[in-house]
Amino acid sequence: MSDSEAIDLDFRPSSYFRPQPLEDYRLAQVKNSQVRAHLRRLLASERHDEVARILREEGVSDQDCRALERIHPLYMGGNYLPSPRPGEVEIARIQIYSTTGDVAAVYARRVGPRIRYRVVDEYAGETLEGKATRDSMKPLTLDALHDLLTNVWGLHGILEANFEGDVEGMLGFFVAESDFYPDLDALCRRRVLEAFPEREEEDEEEEAVSREHEKRSG
Protein backbone atom coordinates (compact mmCIF):
# COMPACT_ATOMS: atom_id res chain seq x y z
CA MET A 1 0.00 0.00 0.00
CA SER A 2 1.43 3.39 -0.98
CA ASP A 3 1.89 6.29 1.42
CA SER A 4 -1.08 8.04 -0.22
CA GLU A 5 -3.22 5.07 0.78
CA ALA A 6 -1.82 4.79 4.30
CA ILE A 7 -4.30 4.09 7.07
CA ASP A 8 -3.83 5.68 10.47
CA LEU A 9 -4.38 2.76 12.83
CA ASP A 10 -4.11 5.07 15.83
CA PHE A 11 -6.89 7.37 14.66
CA ARG A 12 -9.62 7.85 17.22
CA PRO A 13 -12.62 10.21 17.01
CA SER A 14 -12.83 12.97 19.57
CA SER A 15 -16.21 11.68 20.75
CA TYR A 16 -19.06 9.35 19.81
CA PHE A 17 -21.55 11.61 21.52
CA ARG A 18 -21.09 14.86 19.66
CA PRO A 19 -24.12 16.90 18.61
CA GLN A 20 -25.36 15.63 15.24
CA PRO A 21 -27.43 17.30 12.54
CA LEU A 22 -31.01 16.13 12.89
CA GLU A 23 -30.92 14.28 9.58
CA ASP A 24 -27.79 12.33 10.56
CA TYR A 25 -29.30 11.48 13.94
CA ARG A 26 -32.50 10.17 12.37
CA LEU A 27 -30.58 8.12 9.80
CA ALA A 28 -28.56 6.54 12.60
CA GLN A 29 -31.80 5.19 14.06
CA VAL A 30 -32.55 3.23 10.86
CA LYS A 31 -31.20 -0.28 11.35
CA ASN A 32 -31.62 -1.62 7.81
CA SER A 33 -28.46 -1.09 5.74
CA GLN A 34 -30.19 -0.85 2.36
CA VAL A 35 -32.81 1.58 3.59
CA ARG A 36 -30.15 3.73 5.27
CA ALA A 37 -28.11 3.89 2.06
CA HIS A 38 -31.24 4.77 0.09
CA LEU A 39 -32.08 7.57 2.51
CA ARG A 40 -28.58 9.00 2.19
CA ARG A 41 -28.95 9.09 -1.58
CA LEU A 42 -32.30 10.85 -1.24
CA LEU A 43 -30.77 13.42 1.10
CA ALA A 44 -27.89 14.01 -1.30
CA SER A 45 -30.47 14.69 -4.01
CA GLU A 46 -32.39 16.99 -1.63
CA ARG A 47 -35.50 14.84 -1.92
CA HIS A 48 -36.46 15.66 1.63
CA ASP A 49 -40.15 14.94 1.21
CA GLU A 50 -39.37 11.31 0.39
CA VAL A 51 -36.99 11.07 3.33
CA ALA A 52 -39.65 12.40 5.67
CA ARG A 53 -42.19 9.95 4.30
CA ILE A 54 -39.90 7.01 4.98
CA LEU A 55 -38.68 8.11 8.38
CA ARG A 56 -41.99 9.40 9.71
CA GLU A 57 -42.07 10.03 13.42
CA GLU A 58 -40.65 6.72 14.60
CA GLY A 59 -38.34 5.86 11.71
CA VAL A 60 -39.07 3.08 9.23
CA SER A 61 -42.20 1.29 10.35
CA ASP A 62 -42.37 -2.46 10.88
CA GLN A 63 -44.94 -2.62 8.11
CA ASP A 64 -42.55 -0.94 5.66
CA CYS A 65 -39.72 -3.25 6.70
CA ARG A 66 -41.83 -6.35 6.13
CA ALA A 67 -42.88 -5.02 2.71
CA LEU A 68 -39.26 -4.48 1.72
CA GLU A 69 -38.31 -7.96 2.85
CA ARG A 70 -40.93 -9.41 0.53
CA ILE A 71 -39.28 -7.58 -2.39
CA HIS A 72 -35.84 -9.07 -1.65
CA PRO A 73 -34.34 -10.81 1.42
CA LEU A 74 -31.35 -8.43 1.31
CA TYR A 75 -33.65 -5.79 2.77
CA MET A 76 -33.64 -7.85 5.96
CA GLY A 77 -30.03 -6.76 6.61
CA GLY A 78 -29.95 -4.92 9.92
CA ASN A 79 -33.68 -5.14 10.68
CA TYR A 80 -33.11 -7.62 13.49
CA LEU A 81 -30.29 -5.88 15.30
CA PRO A 82 -31.24 -5.14 18.91
CA SER A 83 -32.45 -1.60 19.46
CA PRO A 84 -29.87 0.71 21.07
CA ARG A 85 -30.27 1.29 24.80
CA PRO A 86 -30.91 4.82 26.09
CA GLY A 87 -27.87 6.96 25.31
CA GLU A 88 -26.34 4.27 23.09
CA VAL A 89 -25.15 5.02 19.55
CA GLU A 90 -24.08 2.76 16.71
CA ILE A 91 -20.45 3.52 15.87
CA ALA A 92 -19.72 0.89 13.19
CA ARG A 93 -21.21 -2.01 11.29
CA ILE A 94 -20.29 -4.68 8.76
CA GLN A 95 -22.81 -6.17 6.35
CA ILE A 96 -22.22 -9.33 4.35
CA TYR A 97 -24.03 -9.94 1.07
CA SER A 98 -25.55 -13.23 2.11
CA THR A 99 -29.12 -14.09 1.18
CA THR A 100 -30.42 -12.17 4.17
CA GLY A 101 -27.72 -9.47 4.20
CA ASP A 102 -26.61 -10.18 7.77
CA VAL A 103 -25.22 -7.28 9.80
CA ALA A 104 -23.09 -7.01 12.93
CA ALA A 105 -22.56 -3.68 14.67
CA VAL A 106 -20.82 -2.00 17.59
CA TYR A 107 -22.84 0.17 19.98
CA ALA A 108 -21.32 2.58 22.48
CA ARG A 109 -22.68 4.45 25.51
CA ARG A 110 -21.36 6.37 28.47
CA VAL A 111 -21.18 4.56 31.81
CA GLY A 112 -19.85 7.03 34.35
CA PRO A 113 -16.47 8.29 33.11
CA ARG A 114 -16.01 5.31 30.80
CA ILE A 115 -17.36 4.25 27.43
CA ARG A 116 -18.94 0.81 27.19
CA TYR A 117 -19.08 -1.05 23.89
CA ARG A 118 -21.07 -4.07 22.83
CA VAL A 119 -20.98 -6.04 19.60
CA VAL A 120 -24.42 -7.11 18.42
CA ASP A 121 -25.74 -9.36 15.66
CA GLU A 122 -29.19 -10.19 14.33
CA TYR A 123 -29.38 -13.58 16.04
CA ALA A 124 -29.42 -12.63 19.74
CA GLY A 125 -25.65 -13.14 19.91
CA GLU A 126 -25.62 -16.65 18.46
CA THR A 127 -23.05 -15.75 15.77
CA LEU A 128 -20.71 -13.98 18.21
CA GLU A 129 -17.64 -15.50 19.83
CA GLY A 130 -15.78 -14.54 22.98
CA LYS A 131 -16.44 -11.41 24.99
CA ALA A 132 -18.77 -9.07 23.10
CA THR A 133 -18.29 -6.08 25.42
CA ARG A 134 -15.42 -3.90 26.54
CA ASP A 135 -14.82 -0.53 28.20
CA SER A 136 -12.42 2.33 27.58
CA MET A 137 -11.79 5.80 28.91
CA LYS A 138 -11.42 7.32 25.45
CA PRO A 139 -12.89 6.36 22.07
CA LEU A 140 -11.19 3.33 20.58
CA THR A 141 -8.48 3.62 17.98
CA LEU A 142 -9.38 2.45 14.49
CA ASP A 143 -7.21 -0.64 15.01
CA ALA A 144 -8.93 -1.55 18.30
CA LEU A 145 -12.41 -0.95 16.90
CA HIS A 146 -11.65 -3.17 13.89
CA ASP A 147 -10.34 -5.98 16.09
CA LEU A 148 -13.29 -5.79 18.47
CA LEU A 149 -15.86 -6.08 15.70
CA THR A 150 -14.16 -8.55 13.36
CA ASN A 151 -12.86 -10.89 16.08
CA VAL A 152 -16.12 -11.13 18.02
CA TRP A 153 -18.13 -11.59 14.84
CA GLY A 154 -15.45 -13.71 13.14
CA LEU A 155 -15.41 -11.95 9.77
CA HIS A 156 -12.44 -13.87 8.37
CA GLY A 157 -14.01 -17.19 9.32
CA ILE A 158 -17.25 -16.18 7.60
CA LEU A 159 -15.37 -15.23 4.45
CA GLU A 160 -13.30 -18.39 4.41
CA ALA A 161 -16.40 -20.56 4.91
CA ASN A 162 -18.05 -18.95 1.91
CA PHE A 163 -15.09 -18.59 -0.47
CA GLU A 164 -12.34 -21.05 0.62
CA GLY A 165 -9.47 -18.70 -0.17
CA ASP A 166 -11.07 -16.87 -3.10
CA VAL A 167 -9.86 -13.42 -2.05
CA GLU A 168 -11.65 -11.56 -4.81
CA GLY A 169 -14.90 -13.18 -3.79
CA MET A 170 -14.24 -12.31 -0.16
CA LEU A 171 -13.64 -8.64 -0.91
CA GLY A 172 -16.90 -8.40 -2.80
CA PHE A 173 -18.92 -10.08 -0.06
CA PHE A 174 -18.93 -7.40 2.62
CA VAL A 175 -18.94 -3.69 3.31
CA ALA A 176 -17.94 -1.91 6.52
CA GLU A 177 -19.51 1.42 7.47
CA SER A 178 -18.92 3.98 10.20
CA ASP A 179 -19.77 7.64 10.66
CA PHE A 180 -16.83 7.86 13.08
CA TYR A 181 -14.10 5.83 11.35
CA PRO A 182 -13.82 6.77 7.64
CA ASP A 183 -11.09 4.17 6.99
CA LEU A 184 -12.83 1.19 8.59
CA ASP A 185 -13.78 -0.42 5.28
CA ALA A 186 -10.29 0.08 3.86
CA LEU A 187 -8.71 -1.48 6.97
CA CYS A 188 -11.06 -4.47 6.82
CA ARG A 189 -10.01 -5.09 3.24
CA ARG A 190 -6.33 -4.72 4.03
CA ARG A 191 -6.64 -7.24 6.87
CA VAL A 192 -8.41 -9.72 4.60
CA LEU A 193 -5.53 -9.47 2.12
CA GLU A 194 -3.06 -9.97 4.97
CA ALA A 195 -4.98 -12.96 6.32
CA PHE A 196 -5.08 -14.77 2.97
CA PRO A 197 -1.78 -13.83 1.26
CA GLU A 198 -0.87 -17.21 -0.21
CA ARG A 199 -4.03 -17.61 -2.23
CA GLU A 200 -3.77 -14.03 -3.41
CA GLU A 201 -0.22 -14.65 -4.61
CA GLU A 202 -1.29 -17.89 -6.31
CA ASP A 203 -4.05 -16.05 -8.14
CA GLU A 204 -1.59 -13.40 -9.34
CA GLU A 205 0.79 -16.10 -10.57
CA GLU A 206 -2.03 -17.89 -12.40
CA GLU A 207 -3.08 -14.63 -14.05
CA ALA A 208 0.52 -13.96 -15.14
CA VAL A 209 0.82 -17.47 -16.62
CA SER A 210 -2.51 -17.01 -18.40
CA ARG A 211 -1.44 -13.69 -19.89
CA GLU A 212 1.84 -15.18 -21.07
CA HIS A 213 -0.02 -18.08 -22.67
CA GLU A 214 -2.36 -15.69 -24.45
CA LYS A 215 0.61 -13.73 -25.83
CA ARG A 216 2.22 -16.85 -27.20
CA SER A 217 -1.07 -18.10 -28.63
CA GLY A 218 -1.69 -14.76 -30.33
Asked if 59 and 145 sit in the same domain, the reply is no
* Domain that includes residue 40, residue range: 15-71
Q: Is the per-residue pLDDT at 104 higher than 80? A: yes
> How confident is the model over 112-124, as pLDDT tens digits?
999 999 999 999 9
Question: Confidence class of residue 41 from pLDDT cuts 50, 70 and 90?
Answer: confident
Task: Please give the Cα distance from 99 to 105 (Å, whole number).
Answer: 18
Q: Is the per-residue pLDDT at 169 higher than 60? A: yes
Predicted pLDDT of residue 165? 84
* Amino acid sitting at position 147: D
- The reply to whether 10 falls in a domain is no
Asked if 57 and 98 sit in the same domain, the reply is no
Asked if 40 and 59 sit in the same domain, the reply is yes
Predicted pLDDT of residue 76? 44
Question: Confidence class of residue 212 from pLDDT cuts 50, 70 and 90?
Answer: low
Asked if 60 and 94 sit in the same domain, the reply is no
Task: Please give the Cα distance from 34 to 63 (Å, whole number).
Answer: 16
Q: Is the per-residue pLDDT at 205 higher than 80? A: no
Q: Is the per-residue pLDDT at 146 higher than 50? A: yes
Asked if 153 and 134 sit in the same domain, the reply is yes
Task: Please give the Cα distance from 115 to 24 (Å, whole number).
Answer: 21
What integer best gives the mean pLDDT of the chain? 79
Q: In three state form, how does the secondary structure of 74-126 look? A: HHHCCCCCCCCCCCCEEEEEEEECCCCCCEEEEEEEEECCEEEEEEECCCCCC
Tell whether pTM > 0.75. Answer: no
Asked if 125 and 184 sit in the same domain, the reply is yes
Phi, psi at residue 21, to the nearest 5°? -55, 145
Give the chain's domain count.
Answer: 2
Asked if 157 and 105 sit in the same domain, the reply is yes
Predicted pLDDT of residue 149? 98
> How confident is the model over 70-103, as pLDDT tens digits?
444 444 445 788 988 988 999 999 999 887 789 9
Predicted pLDDT of residue 98? 83
Question: 96: closest CA among 197, 169, 37?
Answer: 169
DSSP summary character for residue 165: T
Q: Is the per-residue pLDDT at 40 higher than 90? A: no
Domain termination site, one of 71, 95, 117 = 71
